[in-house]
Structure 1
């Protein structure tokens, strides 16, 4: 792809994995002289207005956008012209700064800007004033359709998870006790715990207290610990909707990524005007990107005035948190004649 006339460049590397049924788009947006651009009059934030640059990536369904609040904040988005089931990753690279944002297994709706990252800019990001900024996007888009398999031959019920679940109530061969915060004991098996969680595995790899005494003490409430162990043994959580926010904390601690995803889905399903702010804060704390996106969309869709009356909104202590919500709400409001902020800043630099 040729350099565009505004002096920033877009490079595309596209490939298709037919066997896996995916298209892979690697797109690098190179913005030269980044530190110098931040010092231009074009980036002046005296009026506190959001200034944007939007680019279409030829031969792809994607558009990319960077938005600036003066020279203090940059916000990065993308959108697709088609609804897609995909994964994405963004790398923000300067000589002295490397940030990554990503989302796994996400259904992206067509023509909706996807928030990627908000970054507060330090004017001394790099000592090299000629250093470019690299925004590297990777999109893995699935186009495979799973065919239904029909058969007249009845299959026996899958009993593996049920059988493993019975191990929790049958302590015949258990070799470790795991305790809740209230002291309630569960009989378990080191090999099962170790293969499911790297954190639990660490308890039994060396001469630790847990490995010597065969007792693991936890800080979790009994019901939370019971749910964690049920998931570890069966990959199911029958009472997931009872307290997904508590279970999320334990899932994050034990690095149980699938359980985190299940908690994320449960939190999304019970999203309301009253709990939207608390849910968004929880999603940001545990990097639940899909939940961040869905909650921001929920807040945006004509609910902001109602949400501003909730206790959650009144309890917000971070101005930046409120600003992120406002940034998202107004992300789509780009005028047709809106100035290309990067082109303006690069033109100003070229005249010096």
Structure 2
């Protein structure tokens, strides 16, 4: 049984919600390998407790020995918020784990917040690092919700760096290498920019490679996709990510562009439906999109599993490992629900 302490205060158009979640005997919880998830408890009468009208929390235990603890939160309504997670230590000390700046949160969707590691809960020499004297783990969540999302920067010139670099791509000025698409379309680009953004492209120029001698990089990407990848590399923007998230996810994985990969995962998550859930899960598995895979599994187990087994995507599944992953994820959740 965990303990929640909830406070809220209002400053102008901003509401600061603070939740302190204390989990007693946390090491014992970690050692119980049958435990794969731990959530804040809902009251029998949700209307009787204002805590549960706002945020709900959970821990997801991963790894054979519960070595990884992922922290999630859920809001019953769409909000624009900033989230802060802090670990309360001994002697009234605190350690900030993560700060996520303002962003829009969907209603009734689990939102990933942070990852803790078992080795940080209890050190290798037996010292409890993140635990209190009584062996409990205490986490402080701050959800800063605001309706005032317009900030006046009228006296500050608009940032031009990304636009300037995008112009450098478009006009090819001072380019020192040519990149070719799968169809043979050429792009005048710059080694320094490519190498600074992608370790895969950097490898083309570090050794005695063909690219070093010819100053030509052959890309397997189609022109439509390569144009978007280069736009992202130069400007950090992905204007068409919602139009072709599947292709851009594959490209981001190929060139190891982690931020573009995250943007694609978010775009695919927004498009997630019963009909495309299996295809999305396969795509996430193929390109090691961990967050998208987790969110898709969460979607499937959240009352959608029976509907999904009737889709065309399910009928075409040939991977036994994928079916086992879905089955184990759902069955583990059901077992825990029975225990609770």
TM-score category, normalised to shorter length: 0.5 to 0.7
CA separation in 2, counterparts of 1:158 and 1:309? 50
Q: Against the structure 1 CA distance between its residues 262 and 63, is the aligned structure 2 distance closer, same or farther, given a 3 Å change threshold?
A: closer
Shift of 1:307: 1.4
2:301 maps to 300
1:343 maps to none
2:310 maps to 309
Q: Against the structure 1 CA distance between its residues 222 and 293, is the aligned structure 2 distance closer, same or farther, given a 3 Å change threshold?
A: same
Shift of 1:198: 1.3
Q: Against the structure 1 CA distance between its residues 183 and 141, is the aligned structure 2 distance closer, same or farther, given a 3 Å change threshold?
A: farther
- Secondary structure of the structure 1 residue equivalent to 2:156: coil
CA deviations over 1:212-261 (Å, ceiling 9, x no partner): 21100011111111111000001111111222111111111211110000
2:225 maps to 224
User: Which of 1 and 2 has higher RCO (CA within 8 Å, sep 6+)?
Assistant: 1
CA separation in 1, counterparts of 2:281 and 2:262? 15
Shift of 1:56: 9.0
Shift of 1:52: 5.4
Contact 2:74–2:110 under 8 Å retained in 1: no
Equivalences for residues 23-102 of structure 1 within 5 A: 85=83
2:215 maps to 214
CA separation in 1, counterparts of 2:225 and 2:37? 46
2:172 maps to 171
2:125 maps to none
- Secondary structure of the structure 2 residue equivalent to 1:169: helix
Match status 1:161 vs 2:166: no
Contact 2:59–2:72 under 8 Å retained in 1: no
1:4 maps to none
Equivalences for residues 1-352 of structure 1 within 5 A: 85=83, 151=152, 153-333=154-334, 338=339
Q: Against the structure 1 CA distance between its residues 256 and 139, is the aligned structure 2 distance closer, same or farther, given a 3 Å change threshold?
A: farther
CA deviations over 1:100-123 (Å, ceiling 9, x no partner): xxx997989999799x9xxxxxxx
Shift of 1:284: 2.5
Q: Against the structure 1 CA distance between its residues 251 and 78, is the aligned structure 2 distance closer, same or farther, given a 3 Å change threshold?
A: closer
CA separation in 1, counterparts of 2:221 and 2:338? 56
Contact 1:194–1:200 under 8 Å retained in 2: yes
Q: Against the structure 1 CA distance between its residues 331 and 108, is the aligned structure 2 distance closer, same or farther, given a 3 Å change threshold?
A: farther
Aligned pair count reads 268
Contact 2:38–2:59 under 8 Å retained in 1: yes
CA RMSD, aligned part only? 5.0
CA separation in 2, counterparts of 1:320 and 1:261? 24
Contact 1:264–1:291 under 8 Å retained in 2: yes
Q: Against the structure 1 CA distance between its residues 229 and 324, is the aligned structure 2 distance closer, same or farther, given a 3 Å change threshold?
A: same
Which piece of structure 1 moves more, 241-250 or 223-232?
A: 241-250
- Secondary structure of the structure 1 residue equivalent to 2:188: strand
CA separation in 1, counterparts of 2:109 and 2:69? 12
CA separation in 1, counterparts of 2:297 and 2:268? 13
Shift of 1:178: 0.5
1:347 maps to none
More helix by share: 2
Q: Against the structure 1 CA distance between its residues 113 and 255, is the aligned structure 2 distance closer, same or farther, given a 3 Å change threshold?
A: closer
Q: Against the structure 1 CA distance between its residues 111 and 252, is the aligned structure 2 distance closer, same or farther, given a 3 Å change threshold?
A: closer
Shift of 1:281: 1.7
Q: Against the structure 1 CA distance between its residues 77 and 321, is the aligned structure 2 distance closer, same or farther, given a 3 Å change threshold?
A: farther
- Secondary structure of the structure 1 residue equivalent to 2:237: coil
- Secondary structure of the structure 2 residue equivalent to 1:187: strand
Shift of 1:194: 1.0
- Secondary structure of the structure 1 residue equivalent to 2:169: coil
Larger Rg: 1
Q: Mark the runs of 5 or more structure 2 residues left unpaired by the alignment.
A: 1-17, 41-55, 76-81, 86-97, 115-129, 131-136
Contact 1:181–1:217 under 8 Å retained in 2: yes
TM-score, normalization: structure 2? 0.60
CA separation in 1, counterparts of 2:111 and 2:332? 7
